[in-house]
Amino acid sequence: MLGLTSGRPTLSAQKTPPSNNQALMSQLHQAIVIADHGDENKALALTRDLLAQHPAFEPALKFQGALLEDLGHGPEAIASFQTALKLAPTDPELLFKVSLYQLQTGHNAEAISLLSRALKYTPRDRDTLYYLAQAYHLNGDNDLALKTIQECLKVDPNNASVWQKYGELLCSSGDNQAAMQWLLKAQQSDPTLARIDFDLGVASYRGMDLDRALEYSAQAAQRQPNDLTVQALLAAVYVKLGKWQDAAPIFQSILRSRATTSHPFSAWANANSNSRTISSPQVCLSNSSVRIPPRSSRTSIFPGHTLALAGPRTQSTRQIFIAPCWNRLPPPVRR
């Protein structure tokens, strides 16, 4: 296993390779140093050469996956991680990484299985608990989702991203008052949290506090003008307030969006674009979208949204998957 010392990759004592693998580890270390100096393509070429001769060398497969992800080759990266996982089925970092892919692609049951396995080896890992809660939620088991995010809160009680997720799950369970308390606490701690205005808008809407729902949904729409979910929430609030003249342009905008070809909002917007009797926009009021950070960034793993999820990561991908897992996540910096 590889770790980091002063920002540079070094051999770690977490898992000492057999003596006959020392030469391979030395070659891999050279590739890591080259990547750390900015030439990821050369590092990838060296790693591929190494794997061509030793295809079952699991540390190289992990590093190859991290490089491919950094370079924007997602499908190849996942294939490399999945191959590595077959060789190291108890590696919590690989279990975690592949589970995120399953979560992104809608395979929630598979994500739950992988994350549950990872927890056996890192039972108090904040990230694993966080995403397991989300996987349970997306799989329709909100009770387990709440129980899991509460465990996550015990591990990291001062993380605004975790507060936000807890508020979101409370809202989904129908406890809008408690949801607002946690969401407001998260917003006050970190106003830059992605989609925090949307979450507050949903909780306010469900609690029938329409004035606040309008305030938050308008803020969210301003911050995320191309997010159809956010736009649909704002339209729903306008409709509830009887402001059809404000809702109608949003419906029309949703319909004009190129992204609506097969988007669930297109049918909803089309059905309501010429009617003052609006169907219940349940689809637009779900704040359970998959929120997964772009772990592919070399400089910041958690400060942004690939599909939108919460939690801070500041180490590079290769640091995360080669370094010991307890160094994986610092406190939130936002994202």
Which segments of the chain have a pLDDT < 70? 1-20, 258-335
Residues 78 and 67 in one domain: yes
pTM: 0.75
Residues 100 and 188 in one domain: yes
Give residue 219's pLDDT. 97
* Cα–Cα nearest to 246, from 223, 224, 209, 218: 218
Residues 219 and 296 in one domain: no
* Cα–Cα nearest to 33, from 68, 63, 65, 61: 63
Residues 171 and 298 in one domain: yes
Residues 312 and 203 in one domain: no
Encoding tokens for residue 190?
A: 């970190």
Domain with 64 in it: 1-88
Residues 126 and 105 in one domain: yes
Q: Which of 249, 270, 285 is a domain's end point?
A: 285
Residues 108 and 168 in one domain: yes
Give residue 284's pLDDT. 44
Q: CB burial class (10 A; 0-12, 13-18, 19+) of residue 257?
A: middle
Rounded CA separation 240/323 (Å): 51
Dihedral over Cα of 298, 299, 304, 308: its sign = positive
Give residue 139's pLDDT. 96
Give residue 310's pLDDT. 33
Encoding tokens for residue 197?
A: 């205005």
Residues 161 and 114 in one domain: yes
Rounded CA separation 2/6 (Å): 13
Give residue 16's pLDDT. 40
Give residue 256's pLDDT. 81
Residues 32 and 105 in one domain: no
Rounded CA separation 32/296 (Å): 16
Q: Which of 285, 305, 321 is a domain's end point?
A: 285
Residues 95 and 188 in one domain: yes
Domain count, the chain: 3
Q: Residue 258 gets which letter from DSSP?
A: G
CATH of the domain at 249: 1.25.40.10
Q: Which of 37, 55, 88 is a domain's end point?
A: 88
Encoding tokens for residue 59?
A: 């540390």
Give residue 330's pLDDT. 29
Residues 184 and 315 in one domain: yes
Give residue 52's pLDDT. 96
Residues 97 and 184 in one domain: yes
Give residue 20's pLDDT. 57
